[in-house]
Amino acid sequence: MTSNNLLSRGMIAVLAAQFLSALADNALLFAAIAELKAHAAPSWQTPMLQEAFVVAFIFLAPFVGPFADAWPKGRVMLVANAMKFVGAAAMLLGLHPLIAYNLVGIGAAAYSPAKYGILSELVGKDKLVKANGLMEGSTIVAILLGAVVGGKLADISVVTALVSICGCYLLAAGANTLIPRLPVAHALPHISPIALIRDFFSALTTLIRNPDARFSMLGTSIFWGAGSTLRLLLVAWVPVALGIADLSMPANMSGGVAVGIALGAAAAASFVGLDKVNRVLPAGILIGLIIIVFAHLTHLYPAIALLLLVGACGGFYVVPLNALLQERGHESVGAGHAVAVQNFVENIAMLGLVGLYTLMDKSGMPVVQSATVFGAVVTLTIGLLAMLRLMKK
């Protein structure tokens, strides 16, 4: 039930729910970090928070895509937000942050295919990049506010932060109830877990064989893996490079990246269509190169400027790739299946890059050196992807 109106009632409800849910997700990360610090947990447990979150995406990938396509996506988003609320409430009640954040990851894994898959059901193909731009813009503003508010509240009181986060998840669930009940995209022909796993890997194979879908999945995977790692790197980098010890500053700097992504996403919506997607490749390569330069800075304002630039390159790079995959997925395996496969690949990349940083941290490598290695890895992987794309492989 697509519409020519980009800002239909359903689209506004989706954007509101996404904003509130993403705001809570990002605030919760800083509340969880503060909780670990309050209990004097080892430093390597901080990046392990991200690992606990993303592992749910990998193991649930065969099931959440069919679930998103087999039920009205607004209802799927409602159930997923309820699961996120359970995880945040469990942390408030004393559950270890790693376990509680894993519960939130389960909700997020179910939420993601629905939130992106619903776009191709609400708007036509000609407005899909713009709809993605609105979705990413909503998400980025939420990341900005969530990081800033989460960091500040966690510095004041972890309990206050967690109560506020639980409230945001409940408001997001309320917004989900305002999404129109859309027709089911692809009814489940079976409910056997084995059959669903086979179905998932069939969709994965189909998308990998499609050059556009393969390019999109790999490109977005590197970006989100880099983004997750950079956010955690900032928590360790800020005290060493800038001499600032509280959580608010790395949270605010994560917000700077988010502002840049919003600007880049807006530029992509205006200048990059699905037929001109190769225009994003230089911006992708710049992400890693800028991180290498950033790692060696020792002054706040130049660091903020480079983080804005990293974000702008990232937003310009990732939004058209998301739209490309949704369109190719909608045409073949279903948008929900496509986003679930994308999440599977993206979160393997997150697991790998965050795991690399965790190993560097546990080995005692200085954070500036870790950030330099990380930037080099991002540059080389996106550069290789760009070369293969231009060679049409």
The pLDDT value given to residue 289: 94
185: three-class secondary structure by DSSP = coil
Q: What is the mean pLDDT of residues 189-208?
A: 80
pLDDT at 90: 94
Domain ranges of the chain: 9-390
Please give the pLDDT value at position 373.
92
pLDDT tier, 286 (very low <50, low <70, confident <90, very high otherwise)? very high
Q: What band does 216 get if pLDDT is binned at 50, 70 and 90?
A: confident
152-198 pLDDT tens trace: 898 888 999 999 999 999 999 999 888 877 666 566 666 677 888 88
* pLDDT of res. 290: 94
* CATH no. for 9-390: 1.20.1250.20
pLDDT above 80 (res 325): no
pLDDT-wise least confident of 21-30, 58-67, 367-376: 58-67
- Best CA proximity match to 333, nearest among 219, 205, 217: 205
pLDDT, tens digit, 9 for 90 and up, residues 288-323: 999 999 999 989 999 999 999 999 999 888 888 877
- d(CA 194, CA 317) in angstroms, rounded, equals 36
pLDDT, greater one: 283 or 62: 283
Question: 304 with 391: CB under 8 angstroms?
Answer: no
Give the mean model confidence (pLDDT) for residues 42-59.
83
Backbone angles phi, psi at 3, to 5 degrees: -135, 150
Report the percent of the chain where pLDDT is more than 90. Answer: 25
Check pLDDT > 80 for residue 59. yes
Q: What is the predicted pLDDT for the residue at 190?
A: 61
Higher pLDDT, 349 or 246: 349
Higher pLDDT, 166 or 273: 166
Reduced to 3 states, what is the DSSP secondary structure of residue 123?
A: strand
Each residue's pLDDT tens digit, 107-126: 998 887 787 777 777 776 67
Cross-strand partners of 123: 3
Q: Using DSSP, how many helices (H) and how many strands (E) does the chain show?
A: 14, 0
Three-state secondary structure string covering 206-258: HHHHCHHHHHHHHHHHHHHHHHHHHHHHHHHHHHHHHCCCCCHHHHHHHHHHH
| Residue 393: predicted pLDDT | 54
Q: Give the model confidence (pLDDT) of 330-352 as tens digits.
A: 666 766 677 778 878 888 888 88
Among 334, 337, 322, smallest CA distance to 62 is for 337
Confidence of residue 105 (pLDDT cuts 50, 70, 90): very high
Mean pLDDT of the chain: 84
Instruction: Note the pLDDT of residue 254.
Output: 80
Q: CA 267, 271, 273, 278: dihedral to nearest 10 degrees? A: -90
- In angstroms, the CA 167 to CA 87 distance is 13
